[in-house]
């Protein structure tokens, strides 16, 4: 019996299939087969970059009495807009709304002191870090605490969903945690005597203590220093690549160091550069 050469039949068939595949655009789920546009293209086309920032996190980002914003993150957002050649639109956010703002296309990027934890990275597209810092504890100067161990049995306030919330939940099980929607509300709870301590960014509580002698910080190194990144949609690698490039140039030019010294009154952590 004559044996058929299957290779001669399969190769033309495979070539035809590959040719057909090559002529078909990736399907983005809308049935049209059009490629998904990066947020980078949308920003340039619209002429505006929408940046989520915190309104109550001095010295990194705070909303002023006239409705504007100022701080380290705000200056970085402005530098990003300048690099893109577009206008800057700032959008207020908090610990729980950062990801929903991205997913609902109300912002293009978060520059909101977002700690890039492994758990968050399951849902968020994080850039390389642009800064790093840890947590500190603010207490009443009339009732100071000597160490973090003294927090046992105390009631502390944190912003809900923040890294500080995670730190206290995981590493300080003997404290009672009062969670608030904003950093401002968490700080107000300490001022009103509803809690014994406020747990927030080390630079933030240090500035609060410097501005008001009624309060003091626990005199110890920052708790759990961590990397802080910009946040974008996880699937938009083109946009993330651009943001990474921007951060590298911000570091290489010395601009990031200048901005950190301006607002944090210290050198940028070595781990960032």
pLDDT, position 271:
84
Q: Cα separation of 191 and 196, whole Å?
A: 9
Which ranges of 118-268 does DSSP label H, i.e. alpha helix? Answer: 163-171, 183-191, 202-211, 237-252, 255-264
Decide if 232 contacts 127 (C-beta within 8 A).
Answer: yes
Q: What is the mean pLDDT of each run of 10 residues along the chain (273 residues)?
A: 35 39 40 69 98 94 95 98 98 94 98 94 97 94 95 96 93 97 94 96 91 95 92 98 98 97 88 80
pLDDT, position 35:
56
Name which CATH class applies to 134-224.
alpha beta
Looking at the domain 39-133+227-264, which fold is it? D-Maltodextrin-Binding Protein; domain 2 (3.40.190)
Q: Cα separation of 199 and 128, whole Å?
A: 26
pLDDT, position 133:
87
pLDDT, position 241:
98
In this prediction the pTM is: 0.75
Tokens at residue 120, please? 């968050």
Tokens at residue 159, please? 């912003």
Domain ranges (residues) in the chain = 39-133+227-264, 134-224
pLDDT, position 270:
84
Identical fold, 39-133+227-264 and 134-224: yes
């Amino acid at each position: 019996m004559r044996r058929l050469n299957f290779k001669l039949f399969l190769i033309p068939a495979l070539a035809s299939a590959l040719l057909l595949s090559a002529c078909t655009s990736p399907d983005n789920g809308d049935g049209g087969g059009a490629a998904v546009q990066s947020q980078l293209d949308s920003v340039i086309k619209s002429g505006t970059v929408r940046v989520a920032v915190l309104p109550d996190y001095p010295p990194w980002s705070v909303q002023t009495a006239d409705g504007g914003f100022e701080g380290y993150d705000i200056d970085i957002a402005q530098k990003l807009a300048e690099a893109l050649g577009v206008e800057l639109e700032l959008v207020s956010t908090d610990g729980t709304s950062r990801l929903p703002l991205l997913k609902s296309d109300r912002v293009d990027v978060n520059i909101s002191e977002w700690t890039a934890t492994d758990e968050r990275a399951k849902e968020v597209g994080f850039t390389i870090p642009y800064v790093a810092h840890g947590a500190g504890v603010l207490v009443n100067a009339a009732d100071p605490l000597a160490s973090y161990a003294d927090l046992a049995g105390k009631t502390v306030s944190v912003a809900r969903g923040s890294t500080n919330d995670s730190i206290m939940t995981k590493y300080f099980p003997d404290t009672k945690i009062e969670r608030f929607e904003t950093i401002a509300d968490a700080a107000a709870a300490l001022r009103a005597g509803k809690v014994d301590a406020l747990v927030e960014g080390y630079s933030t509580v240090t500035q609060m203590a410097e501005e008001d002698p009624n309060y003091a910080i626990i005199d110890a190194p920052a708790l759990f220093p961590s990397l802080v990144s910009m946040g974008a949609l996880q699937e938009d690698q083109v946009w993330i690549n651009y943001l990474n490039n921007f951060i590298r140039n911000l570091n290489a030019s010395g601009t990031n160091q200048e901005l950190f010294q301006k607002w944090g009154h210290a050198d940028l952590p070595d781990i960032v550069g």
